[in-house]
Amino acid sequence: MAQEADVIVVGGGVIGLTTAVTLAERGLRVRVWSRDPAGATTSAVAGALWWPYRIEPAERVGSWSLETLAVYEELAAAGPGETGVRLVAGVHSGERFAALGPWAAELKGAVEVAEGLRVVLPLLDMPVHLAWLERRLVAAGGAVERRAAAGFGEAAERSPVVVNCTGLGARELVPDAGVRAVRGQLVVVENPGVEEWFTEADSASAATTYFFPQPGGLVLGGTAEADDERREPDPVTAREIVARCARVRPEIAGARVLGHRVGLRPVREGGVRIGAEALPGGGLLVHNYGHGGAGVTVAWGCARAAAALVG
């Protein structure tokens, strides 16, 4: 069968699209195979604040995150209306520099306050950002196909290199039994005037408290429910989310609910997997998956690491 591309990236979320853009802008012919439109992927429902939260391996996450932060700072300067990236101030409640990795020393203007750590960070409007990534890919000569892959061998028949950015799908496609779903539920309300983001997280709990001011409303969260693959919003959980956020900003209690979101974060035992292996028939399979809920935070750093394995 005639080869259609130099690289086929399987998976069209933020990891797949960012990896595809990185490869296409290096002069390779790239096609993305995505079962779902970008707006229907797990990435599209992310709260999307840059922060290396619940992601491993620790020794690599810092550099991936800082590489990505630098890109988002450039994109925010280019115009959030086009890229979906804004720099917004907020507070990580209860956080202290001493509890963070060496990467935290690189945060510009971050200060410890009574409530926690106050810092200006990238906040992404994911539907806008994903659409922008697709446009950037096309401008670099790449393309996106709505296509589900039954296996990587199918893509290898059409390209010498296949990049696996399938997230939760890697559980079956690799197969990798270490991949598991961590359910995240959000509530979107009319913004009652909140201009800054807020987070309060307990790594030992499935319940977190955060709110992010987005152009389409105030996004309230959240949950981190391991091995729970329910995709429908739970009304009791939704009420609890609103109540937790209203304890921080009471005006949220009366805000009109605009919608509910559920996403399944693709967490992997052992953390993010970036590596390469040979496929039967001589093709190369590069893995880039297992980012959990921090795909936005490490997207560009991981894309460059994966691209380096393509050669």
What angle in degrees, to the nearest 10, is found between the helix axes of 14-24 and 295-310? Answer: 40
Task: Please state the rounded mean pLDDT for residues 289-294.
Answer: 96
Average pLDDT, the chain: 96
Percent of the chain with pLDDT over 90: 91
Q: Which helix (H) or strand (E) holds 222?
A: strand 217-223
Q: Tell me: the pLDDT tens digits for 114-143?
A: 999 999 999 999 999 999 999 999 999 999
The average pLDDT across 301-307 equals 98
If you ran DSSP here, which 8-state letter would residue 291 be given? B
Confidence (pLDDT) at 1: 53
Cα gap 259→265, rounded to integer Å? 19
For the cut 60, the answer to whether the pLDDT of residue 251 exceeds it is yes
Cα–Cα dist 71/143, whole Å: 22
Listed in sequence order, the residues at least 6 apart from 106 whose beta carbon sits closer than 8 Å to its beta carbon are 66, 69
pLDDT score at 203: 74
Please check the confidence at residue 226 and state whether its pLDDT lies above 70.
yes
Name the percent of the chain in helix, strand, coil, to the closest 5. Answer: 35, 30, 35
Measure the CA–CA gap between 233 and 292, rounded to whole angstroms: 19
Which residue is associated with the tokens 């590069």? Answer: 286
- In tens, the pLDDT along 45-90 reads 989 999 998 899 999 999 999 999 999 999 999 988 999 999 999 9
pLDDT digit string, tens, across residues 6-34 = 999 999 999 999 999 999 999 999 999 99
pLDDT at res. 202: 78
**Residue closest to 290 by CA, chosen among 142, 133, 174:** 174
SS3 114: coil
- State the pLDDT at residue 39: 86
pLDDT of residue 2: 59
How far the first Cα of the chain sits from its last, in Å, is: 23
d(CA 125, CA 84): 5
Contact by Cβ (8 Å): 48, 203: no
What are the tens digits of pLDDT across the range 236-249? 999 999 999 999 99
Q: In this predicted model, what pLDDT tens digit does every residue of 186-220 receive, in sequence order? A: 999 999 999 999 999 877 788 999 999 999 999 99
φ, ψ of residue 290 in degrees (nearest 5): 95, 30
Query: Are residues 181 and 228 in contact, defined by beta-carbon separation less than 8 angstroms?
Result: yes
Residue 278's identity, in one-letter code, is: A
pLDDT tens digits, 80-91 = 899 999 999 999
pLDDT computed for residue 286 by the predictor: 98
